[in-house]
Structure 1
Amino acid sequence: MAQRDARMRRMTVQSGLGFIGLGVMGEPMCRHLATKSGARVVAYDLSPEPLARLADHGVVAAASAREVAADADTVFVSLPSGRHLDDLCRGDGGLLAAIGRGQTIVDLGTSPLSLSRELAGLFAANGADYADAPVARTRQAAESGTLAITVGAKDEVYARIEPLLRCFASEVTHCGDVGAGQIVKILNNMVVVQTVVALSEASAIARSVGIDTTALFETFAKGSADSFALRNHGLKAVAPRSFPERVFSTDYMLKDISYALEMAEAAGLDTGGAVNGRDLLMRASMQGHGAEYWPVISALMRPRTDRPS
C-alpha cells in the first residue's frame, strides 16, 4: 500500500487528469479520482448537473472534450457505447485532433475489440498511448469505489494508470495488450447473460409447479448451482421481479453481448447460447424494457397460450 501511495504521489504531482462522460458510473468514478489521486481533475459532460455536483469535490468543469484534452496528461472516457466513443474520437473536433505526444487515453466503457485496436493505432500515430479498461460491477460499486476493471494496455502504460484506476476500483487486472480488457469484460458478460437465462427458465418452471423462486434460488446457493449471478441477479432481481431503471440496462447488456457475437462471427464460431441470450435481450428491449435492469428478460418467460390441452 505504501509503495502504491508513493507511486501515486510521484505521478500526480506533475500530471493533470481529465474525465469525459459523467453518467451513472462516470460521475462517481470521477469523484473518487478527484478526491483520492491528489491531482487536478478537469471534466466534461453534455449535462451540467454532474459537473455542478463534482465542483464540490474540486473537479474543474471544461467547456468541451477538446478543452479536457488540452488540460490533461491522462484522459479517462466513460461513454455508453463504442459508437459514442468513436464519435468522440473521430468526429468533428474530436480527441484525435487534440491528443498528442505524451498523453494517454483510457476507455472505461465497453467497446468493440476492433474499435479499441483501431483507435489505439490512430492515437499511437499522434504519439499518444491508449488503454481499454472497461469497468464491471454495479452502480453501488461505482459509488463505493469497489469496481472491477480489466485492462488492455502495454506494460508501461498499465504501470502508469493502475494506481489511478485503484482510486475507484478494488480489483484491477492487467489482461494483456490493447483490446484484452474488452475481450475479458465482454466474455464475462456473455457468460453472465447465459447464466441468468438458465436461472430465469428454472424460475419459470418452478413457479409453474408451485415452487417459490426465492426458496429455489436460496437452495441453489447451497449447492453446485451457486454463482455470483445467482446471488446478485437471481436473488436480487429475478426472484423479487425487481428491474429498476438507472442500473445496468437491457440495452447496455444487449450491446455487450452483441460485441461478443461479433468476435464469435469473426472467428467462425457457432455460439448458440449467446445468440439465445441476445435474442431475449432484443425482445425485452422491443417490448419497452430497454431502460430497465437487464434481468427483466426473466419476465418474458411466460407459459405459451398455444399449449395443447
Structure 2
Amino acid sequence: MPITLATSTPQVQENLHITAASSSTKKNIKLPDYQERRLNDVGITVKYNAELSSQKVESSLKAVSIHRVVNNEVAVTTNALHSIIPPESDVVINRSAPYITPAPPSQTVEGTHQNISVTNTSLSSLPESAFSVIEGTWQDANTVNIAAPGNVFGASGCLSCADVLLEIPMVTELSPAFEDVTQAFGVKIFDEGETVPVKFDKCDLNVVEYKITPANHQYSLEEANGFFVERHEFPHIFIASSDQDEIIITVGKQVEDDKFALVNIKVPEGKAIMLPGGTIHTDSLSRGNIVIMLTECVGADTVLMHDKDSQPITLRVDSSERIGLAEWHL
C-alpha cells in the first residue's frame, strides 16, 4: 500500500508545537523549520530540517529512507531527517526536534563512543535473572549468505542457536540493577542537555526519525526471514520523539566463542541510549516514532537468529512489566 499523509504523517511539526508550548523556559529557543521531499523510488514523503545543506539532505535521504509494508499495513517508514553530524563531532541530546545535534566546541567532552563500552562492571556481578545466555554460532554474511529483505545493509549471516525458544529479560529504569546492566553491557543512558562523546571519524552520521508499528513483528517473520541482531563500526543513539513512543533495545555481549548474553533495555522516557560501535543489538521491539543516529557509509555484520534447522527461532520477552510483548511473534 503506497504511503499517504493519512497513513503515516511525520510527527515533527506536532511534537515541536507540543514541546514549545509546554515549557516556558524554551519559549525563546528558535525551533527549526521543516520542509518536505517526495522520494519517488521509495514511495513516501519525508520531512527534513531546512537548515541542513540541500546537497547533504539529498544523499542522506537516499541512503537512510525505508518503507516496509506487510499485508497492506505499514511496518516501518521514514518520518524525517533531523540532523547531520559531521565526522569527529560529539553530540548534544534534546527533547525537541532536531533531538540530536552536533556539540559546539564549548560542549565537547573527552573520549569517543568507544570509551562508553569500557566498564569495570562484569556480567557475573549481575543477578542471573537480568539477562539470558544463549548458545549459538555467529557466521557472518561472508560465511553463510541468507536472504534477508529487511536488512538495509544487504546480505545477512546467521546466528545458529541451540534453542528453539528464547526468552530475553527486560530491565527498566525501575529495575534495581538497571545502571549495572547498562554498564556491564557497555551502553549508557543520557539525559536532555548532556553531551555524548561520539567522534566517529569515517563519515557523517544521520539523525533520522522512523515510525515503527506493531506490524513490524509480522514483517520480521513473514518478509524478513526472522529476528536479527547486528554489530557495526559506527555508534547508535536512540531517543523517542515523544513520551507516547517506546524504545526497547536488545543488547548482546559475546561471553565465549559460542555463547552470547542478551538483555532488553527499556530506555527511560525523555532520555537517550548510546550504543558504541561494535555493540551487538537490535531495535526490533521499539514502537512509535523513534529517532536514531546512524549511517550507511560502513557496512554491518547482521545475522538472522535461526535454530539448527535454519528456521527463525521463537522469541519471548521475559518480563511482567511489559504486557503485550511476551508473545510478540504471534
More helix per residue: 1
**TM-score, scaled relative to structure 2:** 0.24
More strand per residue: 2
- Structure of greater relative contact order (alpha carbons < 8 Å, 6+ residues apart): 2
Q: Which has the larger radius of gyration?
A: 1
